[in-house]
Structure 1
């Protein structure tokens, strides 16, 4: 079941208010993730909009597909943080916020220290480039972590960066995880938190967690680009008779024998194992002999078209997929309940994703991204009303007879 866009109940972060002082990918993705979990995320931008509002790809009307995708379901206020007045506005708003997300070391009244002094329960989270505080971006983090040296076709001597900003994406999700952990801790202790995350550390931590940096400390790896082969097991791409390309991944012995059965290669592989005195049921052995295996499989795949291959492999739980372009992938969005229609100003009606997380079998439909400063008046008015209500409560407490007796 998909809940309508205006539905607000039933999500874990309902009632949590987030101020997002950010741009580009990682921190906006953190804010988007929190908004899709129910938080009221208020994007703070300079008058005229943040620089990432004009990033490609752009619609014909000049609205960024990229920006609207990362900022769905947020509110937007326009504040000039280069001025003392603008910084005071955000500082005042932060007194009633639960979380502040930043990706720059702001000065004056909006530093992490200043905001947390005014609101000790605040969760302040900031993304930096490196652990030293030096700037960095995804492509630089890629370069320093080592992955581009093993990406690309065999024999290619030039590093190949991935077009997916993987470390930005991972950093955004790390930041959201940090916020959730800090909110949980605050519920137990009443205290806020100051959290920092370096983009480069995300890349290095991942490389370390995957073992490649551990291995490099003990031996000279010398690993080179290997095309579309899956490192450590058997998997690669194949071209079909009709020009389509597919990706095949063999992880388990069951997968391996299913592939051999459907391709009619059981006897040929058994003969190969006897001739080389190897056991291809071992995935490391399959990886070591990937070129020989490919030489057996390639002729079979070249005799198949996509329709015939689909009929041959479906129902066997073999891991494979045809490659799609973005255009081809977009043709199938309506099949997936992750997507629902959004009417985005500057773009028009289109299918946009909600959160991939599904709570109690219910999805919340995506909401459109805000225009520059669209909610400035509303947010500031709400803050004035909340501050007035808080002042009245505090005044009643001070003036109550019980309080006066206790003071006396």
Structure 2
């Protein structure tokens, strides 16, 4: 963690992935992020998978470095406390509906310069989740083995909720843009970010959707090959799969050298009348001939030998790993400065915890912070933010409006 956002407090009323990840990124840069949940736990509080102690590892990791306030959000009094905390704080991240008790106008009625970021489903108000917007993008119908029939083959949905995480990152950016505008003008902003728009807009930003319009049809499936360039998975003699990626002439020369195919590639260029070194286009168009040549060489070497050759030549490659392997890998995780020692996680399970993805040369990053227990900071936040006396807070706790830490539950 770095303290670049020290002094900034954000109220977060959210669940699942996109909205909590926006708050997480701000917290990892030093912001005080106060997550408000229902005192019984939000919709994602018991999200699979649970530890033996009943703690969600998903919730635990999306809420690191945050404070937790638990209120009875099924009551008018609990909802009003959430609104007042947001109003006093002045900046909010939420994925509750636009007409919910956390509506921008309701909070801004007592705070004209309120900056709120609201994650929606679709722009027209329809519900959506990562898995459903992904179905609309077209990507699942471009994914899969090359030999699959385009008309009858099933879609291949991605496992990673990528649109959620992209939306979370965009919302963190949108919040800071709103705050910068407020600093310059004293104006508040309601920034609505539909998850569906992030997905569809990204398909256009990537040039993929315009490509389909230009060609007047969809792409064919190409398996693990890289679209428009040279790259694919290859299998070594000892059964290891590894990915080769070539996007530049330098990477091409290094890969050809590592595979010992300089003369074979020159002969193919003479046969085809093209320069493979100078063009992604020709490398992609003739990928099947090239893949066959490269795979024949890969089968002659164990992966360790192949990796050594690729490294010496300066090629771009990586071995396929299971996630269980990755999580224990010395280079990727246990020896990576991104990760710090395990904090005191609510789950009681110790494992490497990531710091902010950004690092600042010359500055030491603090160790990762733990996620809170649900309601761990309820009393502290109500006292500090709303100036409530201990007796007032105790009365709210007694009536079940405010929840306290569930550490012992």
| Fold match by TM threshold 0.5 | yes
Question: How many angstroms apart in 1 are the aligned matches of 2:369 and 2:179?
Answer: 24
Residue aligning to 2:108: 116
Q: Which residue of 1 aligns with 2:76?
A: 84
Kept after mapping to 2: 8 A contact 1:338/1:363: no
C-alpha distance after superposition, 1:62-83 (max 9, x if no partner) = 2111111111000111112232
The question of whether the paired residues in 2 share the 8 Å contact of 1:131 and 1:200 is answered with yes
In 1, the alpha carbon distance for the partners of 2:290 and 2:213 equals 32
Out of 162, 167, 178, the residue aligned to residue 182 of structure 1 is 178
RMSD over aligned Cα, in angstroms? 1.6
Contact kept? 1:14, 1:40, Cα under 8 Å: yes
Name the structure 2 match of 1:213. Answer: 209
2:117 is the counterpart of 1:125 = yes
Give the alignment's TM-score, normalised by structure 1: 0.89
Instruction: Report if the CA contact (8 A) 1:34-1:41 is conserved.
Output: yes
| Aligned mate of 2:136, from 141, 144, 154 | 144
Counterpart CA distance in 1 for 2:313 and 2:271 is 29
Distance in structure 1 (CA, Å) of the matches to 2:36 and 2:155: 37
Q: Distance in 2 between matches of 1:377 and 1:201?
A: 38
Question: Matches of residues 60-79 of structure 1 in structure 2 within 5 Å?
Answer: 60-79=52-71
* 1:297 corresponds to: 294
How many Å apart are 1:219 and its aligned residue? 2.9
Q: Secondary structure at the match of 1:77?
A: strand
Q: Deviations over 1:154-173 (max 9, x none)?
A: 23311101111110010000
* Pair 1:279-2:275 in alignment: yes
Write out per-residue CA displacement over residues 301-344 of structure 1, whole angstroms, 9 at most, x where no aligned residue.
11111211222122432110001111111112220111112221
Range with bigger deviation, 90-99 or 45-54: 90-99
Q: Which moved more, 1:345-354 or 1:34-43?
A: 345-354
Residue 322 of structure 1: aligned partner:
319
Give aligned pairs, total.
379
- Cα deviation 1:146-201 (Å, max 9, x = unaligned): 11111122233111011111100100001000011111111111222110010010
Gaps (5+ residues) in structure 1? 4-9, 388-408
- Deviation digits for residues 186-217 of structure 1, max 9, x if unmatched? 11112221100100101111110111221223
Change (3 A) 1:186 1:294: same
1:47 aligned onto 2:39: yes
Match of 1:229 in 2: 225
CA contact (8 A) 1:244 1:322 kept: yes
* Deviation at residue 375 of structure 1 after TM alignment: 0.9
Instruction: Name the counterpart of 1:268.
Output: 264
Contact 1:78/1:373 (CA < 8 Å) preserved in 2? yes
Cα shift at 1:51: 2.0
Query: Who is 1:397 aligned against?
Result: none
1:239 maps onto 2:231 in alignment: no
Name the CA distance, whole Å, in 2 between partners of 1:197 and 1:107. 15
Moved more, 302-311 or 288-297: 302-311
In 1: Cα distance, 2:359 partner to 2:256 partner: 37
Preserved CA contact (<8 Å) 2:258 2:313: no
Tell me the secondary structure at the aligned position of residue 51 of structure 1.
coil
Distance 1:286 1:116, change over 3 A: same
- The Cα shift of 1:107 comes to 5.0
Distance between the aligned counterparts of 2:59 and 2:388, measured in 1? 31
Where 2:340 maps in the other structure, the secondary structure is strand
Task: Write the distance in 1 (CA, Å) between the matches of 2:388 and 2:130.
Answer: 40
Aligned to 1:376: 378
- Give the one of 140, 153, 158 matched to 2:145: 153
**Structure 1 residues 321 and 239, CA gap change in structure 2 (3 angstroms):** same
The yes-or-no answer on 1:134 pairing with 2:114 is no
Is the 2:228–2:281 Cα contact (8 Å) retained in structure 1? Answer: yes
Q: How does 1:343-382 map to 2 (within 5 A)?
A: 343-361=344-362, 362-382=364-384
Q: Distance in 2 between matches of 1:188 and 1:51?
A: 37
On the 8 A contact 2:14/2:93 being kept in 1, the answer is yes
The Cα offsets for residues 202-249 of structure 1, whole Å up to 9 and x where unpaired, read as 111111011122122333233122110000100000011111110000
How far apart, in 2, do the equivalents of 1:386 and 1:11 lie? 28
CA distance in 2, matches of 1:88, 1:135: 25
Q: Per the alignment, do residues 175 and 137 of structure 1 end up closer, same or farther by CA in structure 2, a change over 3 Å counting? A: same
Equivalent residue, structure 2, for 1:335: 335
What is the TM-score normalised by the length of structure 2?
0.89
Partner residue, 1:398: none
Give how far 1:113 is off: 0.5
